[in-house]
Amino acid sequence: MLFRSVGNLIPTKGHASLLRSFARVSAEFPDCSLEIIGDGPLRADLQKLAVDLGIARAVHFRGRQGRDYVAAAMRRCTLFALPSEYEGLGCAYLEAMACAKPAIGCRGQGIAEVIEHGETGLLVTPGNDIELSDTILSLLRDAGQQKRIGSSARALILERFTLSRQAEELSGIYRGCAR
């Protein structure tokens, strides 16, 4: 099992919380791995934290990657998690959801406007490592839940976030302004 996170390696993105949660998850699922795509000033600190937690062999820091790499990575993962403490809408969540992957984000952030907890994704409290690891574990233990949430997430993206749907909404805004 593989889960991913994509984002700049800065304090607000919650990667340290994700690593601490992954340490707990890997105790039950020793064959799972975590791929972190992105770069930033915390990379060395996060790599050290992975060593200190004893999970460095299962955590892969991929650095900044292009769109094709990220898209392929999303298609191959089991789930996506970005426990960001300060986030707007967050395109990485939408990319994972478009690939029918369960996405885990934080309550009180922009993604909470898109993710309906338990239906189109899962929401946790920012900085709550135990809640995050429990949420990840619940998904890893239940392939049916993974599939159901992933399918609902993809349906939502196709309904609300395609290029044609966005163009239609923008066109409506312009028409409204022209009146």
Bridge partners of 122? Answer: 104
160, 163, 165, 166 alpha-carbon torsion, rounded to 10°: 90
Give 81-103 pLDDT, tens digit per residue: 999 998 888 889 999 999 999 99
Output the pLDDT for position 21: 97
Considering only CA atoms, which of 97, 111, 105 is closest in space to residue 152?
97
Output the pLDDT for position 162: 79
For residue 63, the SS3 value is strand
pLDDT class of 171 with cuts at 50, 70, 90:
confident
d(CA 93, CA 66): 16
Q: What's the predicted TM-score (pTM) here?
A: 0.90
Query: Phi first, then psi: what are they for 171, rounded to 5°?
Result: -60, -40
pLDDT class of 172 with cuts at 50, 70, 90:
confident
